[in-house]
Every structure is written in C-alpha cells, then in structure tokens.
Amino acid sequence: MVAPMNRFRTKCQSILTNHLRYCLTRELSTYRVLNKGVVLGVYQPKNKNEDLILDKATQFYNDKTGGKVGQLLKVAGKDLKKGGCRILYDVVPGFDSVAVCCIGKQGTSYNENECYDEGLENIRAAVAAGVRNLRSVGENDVMVDPCGNAEAAAEGSYLGLYEYDELKDKEKRKKTVKLSCLTEHLSGSSSVQKVWSQGQIKADGQNWARKLMEMPSNKLTPRLFVEEVQRKFNNRPNVTVTVRDKAWIQSENMNAFLAVSQGSSEEPYFLHIEYKHPDSNMSSPVAIVGKGITFDTGGISIKPSAGMDLMRADMGGAACTVGSVYSLDRLNSPVHVHAFIPLCENMPGGRAIKPGDVVTARNGKTIQIDNTDAEGRLILADALNYCESIKPQLILDMATLTGAIDVALGSGAAGAYATSTNTWEMLQKAGSTTGDRLWRMPLFNHYTKQVTVSQLADVNNIGAHARSGGSCTAAAFLKEFVTNKNWVHLDIAGVMSNKDEVPYLNKGMAGRPTRTVVEFVQLLGKSQS
C-alpha cells in the first residue's frame, strides 16, 4: 500500500507545482485582454474522511479532463467548508482558472428554524465567493455553474460582485466582470438560461437600490432622485412616472410631509410610478409606499454626529420601492402596481419644525411633533392616506423607520406589521425563497393607546413611554392613517446595511428586502390568475 500512496502523493505534488508555475507565469503576463474563469460547485462529503461530492458540472469537467479535477481536489479541496472556495489553474481546457466552491450538504432544503430555504442560500453564498475570488485573480469573463438552481446562482453572482465605487479613481475601482450561466453540461439549456436571467434581474433591482442608498446626499437630493428614476424608466412602455412638485403637495394638504421638508433648502417632491402589465389579472392594483428622506439629520432633535453619514440611506424604503418596480417590469410580471414616494430632507434651520409643533395631516388628523427625528412616519402618514385614492387591494410600505427594530431583530430580518394573516403568510413564503427574511411584529391596541394620548393634538409622533416598543408605536402611528383592511408595514432600519452578516452582500448598504417584495408581488399575482 505504501508504494501506490507515494506515487499518488508525488502525482498530486507535481500537479500543484505545475499550477503554481502557471499562476506565476500568468501573473507576469500583461498581454491578455480576456481572462476566462469558471465557477464549479461541490458538496460536502457525507462522512468526514470521504471526498467532496462533485455536482453535475464539476463531474462533467472531471470526466472531460480524465479525472484531473477530482484528483486535484483530493489535496486542494481538503477541509473545504460550506461557502468556501479553492482556485485551481490550468485544469479545465478553455478556462484560465477554476473556482471550486462548496455549496454545503447535498439535498439541503427548507430549514424550519431558519425560516428560509437553506439550500438556495448556500448556493448564493458559495457562488458569490467563487466569482469574487476569480475577479481577485484577474478574470473578467466568468461562467457560473447553476449548482442546481440557476436563479439563486445568478443572484449570488451579481449581488456578490456589486460595490459602489464609481466616485473613486478609475484605477481603484473593481474591475468589470462579464458573467454568464454555464450550460455546456446540461440538456434544455435555454430553460436554465431563462431562470438565470430571472435571478439576474432580481439582483439588478436590489443592486440599484443599493446604489441609491450608498450615493452621497449631495449627489442624490430629492430632485436628483426623481431624475435618476426618470432615466431608469425611460422608454419602458408599461411604466408611467409622474412627478409632483411642492405646489401640488400643498394643494393636497400634505402638511405633515411639508412640515418635515420646510427646514431644508431642497424642494420636496412626490413621486408616483405606475407599472401595469397588459396581461395583469389583478382585480385592483397593489400600492407600495417608500420613505424618501434623502438625508436625515434629525432636525432640531438632532442626531449624534457619529454615524450620521449613514443617514444618506434613510431613503432606503424609496430605493427598495423603485428597485422592486424595476425588477417587476423587466421580469414582465403580469401585475399592476402603483408606487408612491414622498421625497425630502430633514434638516435643522430657521424654518424647521420644532418639538411641540402641531400640524394637520391630509386625512384631517392633527399631529403633535414631540421629536423631529421621528420624521419618517410624518411623511408616510400623508403618502399612505393619498395612496388609498387608487383603491388598492393591498398597501405595503417600506421605511428605515426606527432604531428600535434594529435593537429587536438586528440584521436577521426586517420587521413586518400586517393586518392580514393571509398576507403575512404569503410574505413569509416570499422571504423563505429569497433568503431575505421578515418577522411578524404586533399591531396591538396596546401600542395605539400610546400614540393617541397627546396633550395638544389627536396623535403624537412618539409613544407615551418613549423608547419602549419604539418600532411598535411607530407602526401604530402609521395605522392611524390607513383605512385599507389589507396593509403591511415593513420597518427595514435593521437591514439597511451589511457588515458580514449576509455573505453574498459586500459591506455597505444592503438594498433589502427588494427581492422579497418582488417575490411577494409575483406570488400575489399568481394567486389571482
């Protein structure tokens, strides 16, 4: 037994030596224009001392190379963990390098404790690691193994590569990588390609939301946000963009919205986007409302300076709203959606609202503003009331509304307040598919009582017990301006940014839960077809 093992070890060492030599030669080469790489998937072994299990694409190339891939992985793939990656050189003909990524255990599916499809999350994370590693070694043309689910693979690929660096020197920006789905090993490749495209479109919608959230507030004022949306939806026949100015906002008696905007020299805007597919079977449209505070200082109740720069993303609800509509349109989803976005800044100044001020909202209720940093609910109050004019079957709003939801849930899930259990169950199903989860929070009358006790007005913009249940009292406040029986409020402040919690998102603004909202609206449309 000793001699065969020594021969095997010598052969593996020779392979590795050749790869190192190839790698050094490749690094020294400056004449290549197109560097091709491929991401291949493997599963963890069933038992500790067994070899990695090759998925279909990896097995295909292993056979094509006379077992070379499998042989090399016996050494290079040792101790490869879920989500991990190994770069191999000069292995598969036609590719300069191969990223072998581990997609966990074979047969992994819905995890009841985690409330998501763990198998799909494993694919997203592993593929993201693969494409990032290939970019880091200079590949700019990468084919990706669908790893059993082309949509999840595409999402992991495009989400994993995205970074907002367009304001940096060109030499410091991440290099552009062309991505495509590997189908050489598959029959029926056109259907797989279609599913891949769906994942790409969903990732594109989230990446646009991420870009908007990352943009500095001087580069994305309310007016510039409007212009960005107009450019994005230009020549999209199923989308209509209507921009309302301050005069129109005044004519609609949106005094809560105007109160927040009055401290800034930037004019407020109210953005209305309609997406209507000609084959939509929806009896009535869905309304999506997004909080659009393009920068939040807190106003007179000013925030601490540390971390205030992140408040450029306080329009995360608006960003995820337009990202969702963008994906639905490009997916050609047979649905009917209206999006409503109040846009302004919350600034201190001589004209800014002050603690104790009282304003009258569009629905006639008076609001005592005891904390000017609880401004998101003020602009949403008027927007929620206005969106009922289209008689929607359902209203969904998204807002980076409270720090309290971050304390409660962290970045694990967005908080969801739903008046309908059926709607909540559909939302939960959507989140379990996308991996971008939601968690149901209470809409008890207990919290309503805390915002309807006010010294000077009908409601108060902060709860009677200050910090206690802050996200719940904020939702209770919004509920005072909604009459629709089917309403969902998503508090997304906790999922606004990503450090390292979601492995296929880089550090920065997350664009969550764009893909979940897209999936939810599609499920809703299918239920009515």
Enzyme catalytic residues: 303, 377
Largest Cα–Cα separation, the chain: 91
Residue 178, CB-side half-sphere exposure with 13 Å CA sphere: 7
Sign of the dihedral through C-alpha 202, 203, 204, 209: positive
Which two three-digit tokens encode residue 107? 């047969």
Q: What is the DSSP string of 401-413?
A: --HHHHHHHTTS-
| 134: phi then psi, degrees, rounded to nearest 5 | -70, -40
Residues 340/249, Cβ–Cβ less than 8 Å: no
Residue 3's contacts (CB-CB under 8 Å, 6 or more residues apart) are: none
* Cα 90 to Cα 20: distance, rounded to the nearest angstrom: 10
Whose tokens are 């998204």? That residue is 398
* 332 φ/ψ sector (left φ>0, alpha ψ -120 to 50, else beta): left
Residue 114 gets which letter from DSSP?
T
Question: What tokens does 345 get?
Answer: 């800044």
Cβ atoms of residues 76 and 15 within 8 Å = no
Element (H, E) at 341: strand 336-346
- Pairing label, strands 286-290, 394-399: parallel
Angle between helices 150-161 and 118-136 (to 10 degrees): 40
Quote the tokens at residue 518.
């897209």
Q: Is the dihedral of CA 473, 441, 383, 388 positive or negative?
A: negative
Cα 130 to Cα 7, 91, 103, distances in angstroms: 31, 16, 11
The end-to-end CA distance of the chain, in Å, is 66
Residue 324, C-beta contacts closer than 8 angstroms, at least 6 positions apart:
205, 288, 339, 514, 517, 518, 521
User: Distance between CA 320 and CA 502 in Å, rounded?
Assistant: 17
Secondary structure of the chain: what % helix, strand, coil (to 5)? Answer: 40, 20, 40
